[in-house]
Chains A and B, each alone.
Chain A
Amino acid sequence: MKFLEKYLHKMEPHFIKGGKYEKWNPLFETMATFAFTPKLVTNKGSHIRDGVDLKRTMMTVILALIPCLIFGIYNTGHWEMAVSEANRNLPYFDAMGAKFLTGLGIVMPVVIVSYGVGLGIEFLFGMIRGHSLHEGFLVSGMLIPLTMPADVPLWMVGLATAFAVIIGKEIFGGTGMNVVNIALTARAFLFFAYPTSMSGDKVWMSGLGDKMATNPESVDGFSGATALGDLASFMSDKATVAGEVVQSNVAVQNFTGEYTAWESFMGMIPGSIGETSTMACLIGALVLVFTGVGSLRIILSFFAGGFIMGLLLNVIGGNPYLDLPAYYHLIIGGFAFGAIFMATDPVTASQTATGKIIYGFLGGFLAIMIRVLNPAYPEGVFLAILFMNIMAPIIDHYIVQGNINRRLKRLKTV
């Protein structure tokens, strides 16, 4: 590596102030600091510093996302192939290589567009502000594709990423300064700007929409909806036996028969690219919690909040959404993915230890509330997390105020 180091030394003068490529310094610095930890030394305060830096922290999150990515690629490939009639009844674990390659062909462009657009904008802002790339987007750039439906047009991914990076982050000052989660900003942007491309039953499998338009018979009787979207249909058309109106508990029974707990937990169901597998998310959670990058407090309380809300809704009952067993809520949709990768974003989450518990609990609680009580938003998780992002400073305010009050009380007793 001496060769590369020498080359960097040789090139450095061109990029520092007064050099001929001065303007490109942020780009140069980003490359150089990626390849080599820079030779910066402590100049004030503690003379030694811990090994951790933001690069390693962010790289750990990306590592934690890899199970979701790999499973997402496979799952996307599976459902893409299932769209064609010939493969309709292909077992899930058959033709794995072909499915993985098919999935790769769909997912990789989305990942590339997300990173390309996002990093491009980050560099632009870096050049304007004169700093190298800050690492935050390395994670956002991976999260954005994983929250997208498989059939999303690439230009939308690009547009959403640009919106999220500029409006969600850079206008606040960049990495560490944003108010709401970047990846969810991108998701929310598309959800509200292009609802037909982000929900319904055509978008979750690549190619299904086209088929429905050109050759509807070929996909007759084949549902492309997510488990959540499909739940309602068990009440009406699918579940009717000889024209009778079906009780909601029967609808739920039919639903859990179609989407077994095992399949839902493993993620062998249609959905956004990276969100379907609770199993893959939990592997990621293990990495995050063990390394201390993700907050166990948030993850656990998020699950607890969702579960308790599910139980409460079970008590009320009356329609399939309300009657769905509480644990099902945790394994379908983007609940686990949101709890583990979105809610734990330290910049937008609560910053105090107690605050994290409240924040996570309310997040999970609201996610299921929105999911069940507002049929317009079957996927309430991202809305709940965005809402809690906004609320996090208020939660922290009360925790900090508690700390301040303890001090004031001490002063009074003296």
Chain B
Amino acid sequence: MSNTISIRKGLNIRLVGESTKEIKDIPVSNTVCLSPLDFHGLIPKMLVKEGESVQVGDAVFQDKKNEKIKFVSPTSGTIKQIVRAEKRKIVQIIIESDSKHSCKKFNVKKIADTSREEMLNILLESGIWPSFKQRPLDIVADPSNEPKGIFISSFDSSPLAPDYSFILRDKMEQVQMGLNALNQLAKGKVHLSSRKNSDFTKMQNVIHHNIDGVHPAGNIGTQIHHIDPMNKGEFAWSINIQDVAAIGRLFETGVLDGKKCIAVGGSEIKNPAYYNIHCGSLMSDLLKDNVAGENVRYISGNVLTGDQKNADDYIGFYHNQITAIPEGNEYKFFLTKGWLGLGFDKFSNSRLFPTFLLPKSKKFTLDTNTNGEERAFVVTGELEKVFPFDILPMHLTKAAITNDIDGMENLGIYEVAPEDFALCEYVCTTKINIQDKIRQGLDLIASECM
């Protein structure tokens, strides 16, 4: 049983540097990092001190507001440093790896014999829980809520995104086990969205949805909106398909191994490929001798929603790819490469640039220049072209900018996450940081209405 959802509004940004289909292994980093900043709005309560030794799966900190939610070490070793910023805010917990990778064993039963309550407990205890995100607010899911469904996307449509059907091609059984486990958690309400003909369409115990069309077709927000849109007072959970496989492995082996496979790509990467890594690894391990340019922006995640990092930073908790693109911090003469140039090197959704004349196979090297200064909203109708929701993006953004709580509620803030606005932000003539404005709006909703 499946139905096809066609996403017409959107944009595939065609970038140079797609990862080749080979998976490389790299040795465990000397240090790995767990950062509370990866979890929006989280106030961590430390459970370990500097110098303590931990195993894979040992809790490092917990959520101060909901102490059941634990964040565990992805490696075994000792806590090297707890990095704090102003007002003693915890920024990073750096763990020195002993390269033994000894794992904490969890008590797991057969999936079919595990009740919902037990399932919740094991997911919370094992530290996989933070992988669950909830709508509204786009934060770590609150386990005390009853979700209307668990939504999983088996593909990522964002630029240079990893191909999960390649990464997980020989881990399909683990994925199936993970899905079975989720089915215990939300009986009959597990939604799996896939591309037509992908291997994931054969999975069982889920409601299948075929998704067709351009980015943001792979975004969970788009899928939820077209499958079963969010209303005020409802909750939906989502989880990445690689984490579903990790749940499968947890029930297979009793340990959470803290491993995943990520794509490394972008125009500045010499050999874009896939890598097996430990969660929270050092990015420099992957980028060593692999970066072409000097003036490079390193991004943990994709170019639309990822975090800017230094080469010696660590990969973010939710990220499944690393992208390196050129920085654009240089002047561009207006008639050649600037605002009035022919613009064959620019990728634009607008016909003000000749992108639409170029063949669909052409890929672009884009830098981080904003291509203009910030302005007030002038042009109308351009955000709607890349926003496949029955929501008025400009009106919602304006409501968020003006802290208009009623306006945001009415216009659909409960349905969206900042990432849903990434393409709007990309195409917007004004250069306003729309994702940031939506996040501020969500923060206001969280503090006033939830």
Contacts from A to B (Cβ < 8 Å): 1, 4-5, 8, 33-57, 59-60, 132, 134-136, 173-177, 290-293, 295, 346-347, 349, 351-353, 356, 400, 403-404, 406-407, 410-411, 414
Contact = CB atoms under 8 A, between A and B. Distances in A.
28 contacts: A33-B373, A36-B332, A40-B370, A40-B373, A41-B328, A45-B422, A45-B433, A45-B435, A48-B13, A48-B368, A50-B349, A50-B350, A51-B343, A51-B346, A51-B348, A51-B350, A52-B371, A54-B375, A56-B340, A57-B352, A57-B429, A59-B339, A132-B373, A177-B376, A356-B381, A400-B392, A406-B390, A414-B234
Nearest to A346: B380
A386 to B, nearest CB: 19
A46 B303 contact: yes
Interface string B306-325: 10100000000000000101
B98 interface: no
A400 B395 contact: yes
A36 B431 contact: no
Contacts of A352: 392
B378 interface: yes
B350 A291 contact: yes
Given A50-B371, A50-B427, A55 B351 contact: no
A381 to B, nearest CB: 22
A347 B370 contact: no
A36 B350 contact: no
Given A1-B333, A37-B331, A411 B373 contact: no
A349 B381 CA distance: 11
A41 B369 contact: yes
Nearest to B343: A51
Nearest to B374: A40
Given A48-B13, A54-B430, A407-B410, A176 B381 contact: no
Given A45-B436, A50-B346, A51-B371, 11 more contacts: A1-B336, A36-B332, A37-B371, A48-B13, A50-B429, A51-B350, A56-B339, A134-B375, A292-B350, A403-B411, A407-B412
B353 interface: yes
A53 B372 contact: yes
A53 B231 contact: no
B407 to A, nearest CB: 9
A174 B391 CA distance: 28
A190 to B, nearest CB: 26
A53 B378 contact: no
Interface of B: 13, 229, 231-232, 234, 297, 299, 303-306, 308, 323, 325, 327-334, 336-340, 343, 346-353, 366-373, 375-382, 384, 390-392, 394-395, 410-412, 418, 422, 425-431, 433-436
Contacts of A46: 303-305, 422, 425-426, 435
Given A35-B333, A37-B338, A47-B306, A291 B13 contact: no
A404 B392 CA distance: 10
B378 A51 contact: no
Pick from B338, B368, B382, B384 the residue with the most CB of A within 10 Å: B338
Contact of B304 (A33, A47, A54): A47
Contacts of B410: 404, 407
B328 to A, nearest CB: 5
A134 B373 CA distance: 10
Contacts of A134: 375-376
B337 A291 contact: no
A37 B369 contact: yes
A56 B352 contact: yes
A37 B339 CA distance: 6
A42 B370 contact: yes
B426 A48 contact: yes
Pick from A34, A291, A404 the residue with the most CB of B within 10 Å: A404
B19 to A, nearest CB: 18
Top 10 A-B pairs, shortest CB-CB distance: A53-B372, A176-B376, A51-B346, A45-B435, A37-B338, A36-B331, A37-B332, A1-B333, A351-B380, A41-B368
